[in-house]
Structure 1
Amino acid sequence: MTELYIDGTAVVLPDNMNLAVKRENPFFTKNGEYTYELTLSLDNPVNATLYKHLNRFNSVSEIKTKRKVILIADNREYCNGTEIITGWTANAVSLQIASGNSELNYFIGSDLLISSLDLGSATVPTSTAGRLTYIEKTYPDVDFCLTPVLNEGNEEIINKWDVEAYIEGGATKCRLTAGGEKYIAQPFLCAIIKKICKAIGYDIKSNQLEQTDMASVYFTHLVDTVQYAQMFPGWTVKDLFEEIEKLNNVSFFINSKERSVQVIINTNFYAEAKLISIKNVIDTYQVEMEEQAETFQESNVSYDLPEQTYYSFARLKKGILNKAERKNFSDYSSLKSYMEGRTNTDTSKILALNLSDGREYVSGGRSVKKVNFLKNIEIEGATNNIELHLIPVSFQTIDIAINHTDSTIHIDGIGEPMPCITTQDVKEEEETEEEVDNSLYGLITANESEKEESKKELFIAFYQGLGEVGIDGRNYPLTIKYPFPFIDCPAGDYKLPGASLMLSEIKENYYNGAYNIDSSKEVKITSYDANVYDPRSVFEIRNKQYVCKEMEYTLSKDGRKKAWKGTFYSLKTEKSQENPQWILTDGRWRDTGRWLDNGRWMDE
């Protein structure tokens, strides 16, 4: 027997119902559970009462109510999600059911702007003591930080902090003072994930990024607002989530029943998966995949970096690399000693490589300068290119003032790198503002009243709390504690744990794994096994292990019809390795359908 409940009311199903239900593994397709279209008659009082509200609408786009739906057959739950009305007449209504990741896809669509959501606001304290909390603490203790950022458009430092030196007990000490007028919250990435999920109706059950360096990543920006949603102009939820998925190799997994989200690093996806043996398999056959896409490991990967001097050093052009003379050093100490040695006449053309950590340097005259740390990953023979649009912010060395009143202190300041953002669009808007006709006629002809929200670049950096820098003063040595954001910091620098947005380290930390899934061959099965399985499990079929891409069932009014079908990939295990982790090696996230759009699932 099949039962369909909408907001707790049992629907009257058609006698000739033949409903296809798909349960997909979001690890491969980013979809969850969903049904094909089901048509219900409105000629009975139960269904007519459930859908009487449709008389008020002219199209499905006007329907905003998202009603809870549970689909049960033979006492087993197939879908627990949301009703999607796709059309209606005076006598019938058509609908689909979306659950899990398919439900999320429906909610966010392809054009849900973050700025349209209520993400709450950041309360920036007005006192120095209150503001200090947001540089002394990091996520998850606080949702934003007040790290400094330079607006290159007007050379103003947002979230400016000065240092005040004083003598106490014969020792020179220092404290931070709020040295600016404008303080803008810089939100942490994990906090924004949590706020967006909550705004669309989900709670974060777990986020594995919070156990990694990425917990300290924040968005650095100049948008003068306390509203979190306004800090992402032009960005949709879909775009941001996809960029987070690409950068960190994570997936968002939805539990519609619990209204919860798990953010899982894909190399950990099957770490605790159950091994399930599928019974009553009557047919299996293998299908060779004609088109093979490449994953992050097999693709050329790059950041979408702006054309700025800072990034010219951070990612050297091929013409520069071709002219460089390469020289390797065992560690940074020997590299620095050679490159800064006055007797070495060849240093001006050397690209020096520190073999201990893979970082490269050039001579800056009296000092060495780190370069090429945001270089692309280039794979020989790769045909696929992945571009990342969460951009490591640029830095500029800024003098940090050290204020003091004691005549025995002879330290005026230090130069340290600070995040900086070029606001070219601000200048352009100011130049054209006087030319705009603000009369009603002018607004109509210029279409100003319907101007779309332009998409701005999103910049990111790490912030791990106050770092330390030592200075040798004339009379007393001084240790300064200061908010030092960074995008590439070896452990120990500034006495911080350190982290990096170098693509090679991103790949090493978030993509490399130990087990392979052979997605070049799809294994199709037909089974009479009566159970309804979670496609995210590991399956044993005829003594071989597989992972599931999708399962498809057919339901009649009387229950499940016939056998069900499934598509699987062979799991290549390496028993000799400890702490096994499984990853895709030769297939992209193969989405066999499209995002739910305008209330309809477009399956290909």
Structure 2
Amino acid sequence: MTQLFVNDIEIALGDNFSFKQIDENPIITSVGEFTLDIVISIQTGQNAMAFGMIHRLNKRNIPAEWPAAMIVNNKVSHGKAIYISNTDTTVTIQYVSGNSELLYFANQDKKIWKMDWGIESAIDSARARQSIQQTGYETNGFHFVCAPVKLNDTIVNKFTLANETGTSIPSVAFPINGVDGQIIMMPYLLHYVEKMADMFGFTMKANVLLSNDRAKCTYLLNNFNSLAYANALPDMTLSEFIEIIEDEFNVIFLVDKTKQSLEIVYRHENISSRTTIQLNNVIDAYTRNVSEESDDKLSRFKVNKFSYELPDDLYYKYHRLDDYWDLRAIFIFQGDFATLLNFLTANPDAWYNKNGGFFDNQGNYYLYADKPSQEMFSRKITSSRSVYIFNKFRPAGFGNWDNELILKMIPPVIEKGSIQLNFHPGQPDLKQFEIHYQFPQSKYDLSDASAYETIPLADMIEQGVPNVTRKTDLETCIFMGEIKAFITPVTVDDVTFATYYPYSCNDIYPDFGIPPSSSEVTRFETWALSDFMNYVPGSYRLENIVNTYVLNSYFDTTKEYVMQMEDNPFLSTSFLFEINNAIYIPLRFERTISDKPEMVTGYFYKML
């Protein structure tokens, strides 16, 4: 039995109705349930009412879609009836449900900055201060952070490091610079993710990213002086935005078509936790090889290499070296970094400025040379020689580059610096220290969105919309919270190191260097382990992102198993199926729905 409802009115399908329904597995293809064209007579009163007397409407007044529901074999789905065309006697629609409804909404080329993502209430220095005391997005907390960021040449949310005269530096000594125009909110990525369900007309069932440390602490570099969350977004479409998030965290926005709820899940966990159904009613089956070029929907499951879509400037040339450099340079493994440091200290001339590099057992690459023109994290061997860490964002993975996934959530350049403090102003030579800090730098200028947000509509119509330069890429950084800053020198007897600073990072190491003193190196190692790395929620390092991916470990994508069977309520893409002691995952089911019993054709991959 088949029933179709549009605008809560049951459609009279008539005798001999027939249309094709395709139900794809969104975990694999990102597509859900949809039909090909359905031609419906509007000569009956109930059908004409369901479509709002469409034959009487001017074409410009015809809706693009209507709320709809379908019942097939006692299985209910909710979705949209999409308008295709009409005549005086018929209307042609396409029914979409589940992830197909999500794709329909997302693929309308809507620019994300034109959508309503909400407006934050006024942010004064007190609220800005509170925002940095919360590390990461909280549903009932701050959806933004006022972390220090450099927008081209302008530092916003700048901290003032107090020149204390006492013997300790309390954490309250660092007020945010409250000058108008300098407090700019940096929205957390999860603010937008959590708002999407409402925009699609769904309820949010679950979101695994709320417990993902890296996702929770990721914020957007916002170059607009605006309280509208939309203004922090780049010039991209909603579908592009969703794809970037799905690629970065290997998740999928999964729609439950029976309840119209949205769930954000890890692809690999969703596959491994599925219920397996015994399938016994297969009538015909055959196997066909899948062409490598036939379907790019499987690209996510064929990935063997990962890289970032990074600019080609000096900073990234040092941090994005590929395998070509591995073949040219001699890389020496030295265990942990302490072993490497001892090795170079004992042999200060052997590898200095040579065609050689080093890597430790944490996967960190080092260069022992003169100071590069682009400063990187450095640790000194002598007063003039340092070991520099590089290749933070080197391509990662295995095999060849045939199936490369290019990640587009761009890690920014990190700028480092230090501020000198004198704890005894009356004796300037007695105690002087440097507090080291770092913050991300955007390549975009600070823009004042309020310049056009407050323009009266009539003036905007007559004078035109002001020209505003928007980002073309998604610059993000990780906020680590307020952590104890590193202070040099170390020979301090009367100073309590309680200096806190709001740190942002894109890597597991801070980006500033340290002096040559061996005691300070030891102090730095202690600080990095206890006061820095304990707070790093994750890393932009590709090796860590690779670990969240399925790759080819779940099912074989080289062969499709095509099976014809009688329809039943359990033929759903949400299950795995056991056939002749082998487990299969459905790619899609194709049905011809009519007033007569029909067969179903299923397309499967074999689980490994």
Answering whether residue 320 of structure 2 is matched by residue 315 of structure 1, we say: yes
**Distance in 2 between the 1:198 and 1:73 partners?**
27
Indicate if the aligned counterparts of 1:287 and 1:522 stay in contact, CA closer than 8 A: yes
1:2-401 residue pairs with structure 2 within 5 A?
2-52=2-52, 54=54, 55-58=56-59, 63-64=63-64, 66-77=65-76, 79-128=77-126, 130-137=127-134, 138-140=136-138, 141-152=141-152, 155-164=153-162, 166=164, 171-175=168-172, 176-179=174-177, 181=179, 182-214=182-214, 215-291=216-292, 295=300, 298-316=303-321, 324-339=329-344, 343-349=348-354, 351-363=356-368, 364=371, 365-377=384-396, 379-400=398-419
Q: Given the superposition, is the C-alpha separation of residues 458 and 492 from structure 1 closer, same or farther in structure 2, using an over 3 Å criterion?
A: farther
Aligned partner of 2:598: which letter? K
1:468 equivalent in structure 2: 484
**Following TM superposition, by how much is the alpha carbon of 1:318 offset from its aligned partner in structure 2, in angstroms?**
7.1
Q: Given the superposition, is the C-alpha separation of residues 479 and 345 from structure 1 closer, same or farther in structure 2, using an over 3 Å criterion?
A: farther
Indicate if the aligned counterparts of 2:303 and 2:551 stay in contact, CA closer than 8 A: no
**Distance in 1 between the 2:438 and 2:355 partners?**
24
For residue 356 of structure 1, give the secondary structure of its aligned residue in structure 2: coil
**Distance in 2 between the 1:339 and 1:231 partners?**
46
**Following TM superposition, by how much is the alpha carbon of 1:418 offset from its aligned partner in structure 2, in angstroms?**
1.4
1:545 equivalent in structure 2: 583
Say which is worse superposed, 417-426 or 136-145, in terms of deviation. 417-426
Q: Percent of pairs identical after alignment?
A: 23
**Following TM superposition, by how much is the alpha carbon of 1:99 offset from its aligned partner in structure 2, in angstroms?**
0.5
TM-score by length of 1: 0.82
Indicate if the aligned counterparts of 2:397 and 2:546 stay in contact, CA closer than 8 A: no
Q: Given the superposition, is the C-alpha separation of residues 297 and 36 from structure 1 closer, same or farther in structure 2, using an over 3 Å criterion?
A: closer
Indicate if the aligned counterparts of 1:488 and 1:501 stay in contact, CA closer than 8 A: yes
Q: Given the superposition, is the C-alpha separation of residues 316 and 271 from structure 1 closer, same or farther in structure 2, using an over 3 Å criterion?
A: closer
Q: Given the superposition, is the C-alpha separation of residues 492 and 22 from structure 1 closer, same or farther in structure 2, using an over 3 Å criterion?
A: farther
Aligned partner of 2:205: which letter? K
1:167-197 deviation per Cα after TM superposition (whole angstroms, max 9, x unaligned):
77x6443422112531111122222111233
**Distance in 1 between the 2:148 and 2:91 partners?**
56
**Distance in 1 between the 2:414 and 2:217 partners?**
18
**Following TM superposition, by how much is the alpha carbon of 1:404 offset from its aligned partner in structure 2, in angstroms?**
7.1
1:313-338 deviation per Cα after TM superposition (whole angstroms, max 9, x unaligned):
21237776666442221111122344
1:235-264 deviation per Cα after TM superposition (whole angstroms, max 9, x unaligned):
111001111122221111012443321111
For residue 194 of structure 1, give the secondary structure of its aligned residue in structure 2: helix
Say which is worse superposed, 241-250 or 472-481, in terms of deviation. 472-481
Say which is worse superposed, 472-481 or 351-360, in terms of deviation. 472-481
**Distance in 1 between the 2:562 and 2:48 partners?**
41
Q: Given the superposition, is the C-alpha separation of residues 91 and 439 from structure 1 closer, same or farther in structure 2, using an over 3 Å criterion?
A: closer
2:377 equivalent in structure 1: none
Indicate if the aligned counterparts of 1:143 and 1:187 stay in contact, CA closer than 8 A: yes
1:522 equivalent in structure 2: 560
Indicate if the aligned counterparts of 2:163 and 2:422 stay in contact, CA closer than 8 A: yes
Q: Given the superposition, is the C-alpha separation of residues 424 and 439 from structure 1 closer, same or farther in structure 2, using an over 3 Å criterion?
A: closer
Q: Given the superposition, is the C-alpha separation of residues 483 and 44 from structure 1 closer, same or farther in structure 2, using an over 3 Å criterion?
A: same
Indicate if the aligned counterparts of 1:298 and 1:379 stay in contact, CA closer than 8 A: no
1:392-541 residue pairs with structure 2 within 5 A?
392-400=411-419, 410-411=431-432, 413-423=434-444, 456-471=472-487, 472=490, 473=492, 475-489=494-508, 492=530, 494=532, 495-508=534-547, 510-512=548-550, 515-541=553-579
Say which is worse superposed, 285-294 or 316-325, in terms of deviation. 316-325
**Distance in 1 between the 2:281 and 2:353 partners?**
72
**Following TM superposition, by how much is the alpha carbon of 1:74 offset from its aligned partner in structure 2, in angstroms?**
4.2
Indicate if the aligned counterparts of 1:232 and 1:456 stay in contact, CA closer than 8 A: no
Indicate if the aligned counterparts of 1:162 and 1:400 stay in contact, CA closer than 8 A: no
1:462-484 deviation per Cα after TM superposition (whole angstroms, max 9, x unaligned):
11322222424474242322111
* Aligned pairs, number: 546
TM-score by length of 2: 0.82
Say which is worse superposed, 4-13 or 257-266, in terms of deviation. 257-266
Q: Given the superposition, is the C-alpha separation of residues 282 and 228 from structure 1 closer, same or farther in structure 2, using an over 3 Å criterion?
A: same
Say which is worse superposed, 9-18 or 215-224, in terms of deviation. 215-224
1:570 equivalent in structure 2: 606
Indicate if the aligned counterparts of 1:278 and 1:539 stay in contact, CA closer than 8 A: yes
1:546-574 deviation per Cα after TM superposition (whole angstroms, max 9, x unaligned):
11001122222x3x6322111111112xx
For residue 311 of structure 2, give the secondary structure of its aligned residue in structure 1: coil
Indicate if the aligned counterparts of 1:86 and 1:94 stay in contact, CA closer than 8 A: yes
Tell me how large the CA RMSD over aligned residues is: 3.1
Aligned partner of 1:539: which letter? F
